[in-house]
Amino acid sequence: MRIGSFGYDVHGEGPPLLLLHGFSFDRTLWDDNIAALASHARVIRLDFRGVGESPLASFSIDDLADDAARLLDLLGVPMAYVAGLSMGGYAALAFAARHAVRLSGLILADTRAGADSVEVKRKRDAGIAQIRHQGPEAYATAVLPRLLSSLAPTEMRERALRMSIQAPESMIAALTAMRERPDRQSDLKNICCPALIVVGSEDVITPPDEAAAMARAIPGAELVTIAGAGHLSNLEAPDEFNRALIDFVVR
């Protein structure tokens, strides 16, 4: 479905819950979460620029946050729970900084508030070069082992790989936006809506100690650690992930 220049869909009734996906996925990253979440909330899924049904236009992470706010405008939703996983979490943190009054609550899953280190910025550049020279599939294949825990079944790995292959220019735009994003650690103490941090115990991209640090820094934040799940905790452990979000939204 499209509205304005946004690919999106809406499921269920209840408090609005906007889902912001990670890199390099589109809104189908949430396919295993929709049915459960939509029995408790009005779930809105957005495709970030360049993936799914949303056309590419160059962007920063702040632009993704503003897109999310614009989509809520177009749907006539004044306030929502905003849940972002990984890159979606970077956008959710930018949303909290730029559109705080629209937040019923903030859910940060498998993400971090800090900017990229010098080493991570170098890896982003190497990733961009790999996409340019070898193509998106080579990049996605190289990254896959870090997205899921070592116990994830082959079928889940193959599915995650298929889902993570996007147009090269879209993947490059997202890597560039993540590399340039600001450090938002000092914003955390100013978040005044209810906040939930979710992390897979086996997440090696945005590990549990960083999640715990975010939970300590946000006043009153709750932390849920999903045992055995890797970075894509929503995909690897959908029941536990859904339960954490439902318990947070429905109270």
Instruction: Give the nearest distance from C-beta 174 to ligand MLT in angstroms.
Output: 8
Angle CA 128–132–134, to nearest 5: 110
**What gap in Å lies between CA 159 and CA 179, rounded to an integer?**
26
Q: At what angle do helices 118-134 and 168-179 cross, to 10 degrees?
A: 170
| CB closer to ligand MLT, 7 vs 22 | 22
203 or 240: whose CB is closer to ligand MLT? 203
Q: CB-wise, 39 or 141, nearer to ligand MLT?
A: 141
Least Cβ distance, residue 65 to ligand MLT (angstroms): 14
Distance CA 8, CA 198 (A): 23
Q: How far is the CB of 175 from ligand MLT (least distance, A)?
A: 8
Residue 40 or 210: the one with the smaller Cβ distance to ligand MLT is 210
Dist CA 81 CA 83 (whole Å): 6
Closer to ligand MLT by Cβ: residue 8 or 25: 25
Which residues bind to ligand MLT, rule: CB under 6 A?
A: 22-23, 86-87, 178, 205, 231
Q: How far is the CB of 57 from ligand MLT (least distance, A)?
A: 19
* H-assigned helices in the chain: 34-38, 61-74, 87-98, 118-134, 136-147, 154-164, 168-179, 208-217, 233-236, 238-249
Q: How far is the CB of 24 from ligand MLT (least distance, A)?
A: 7
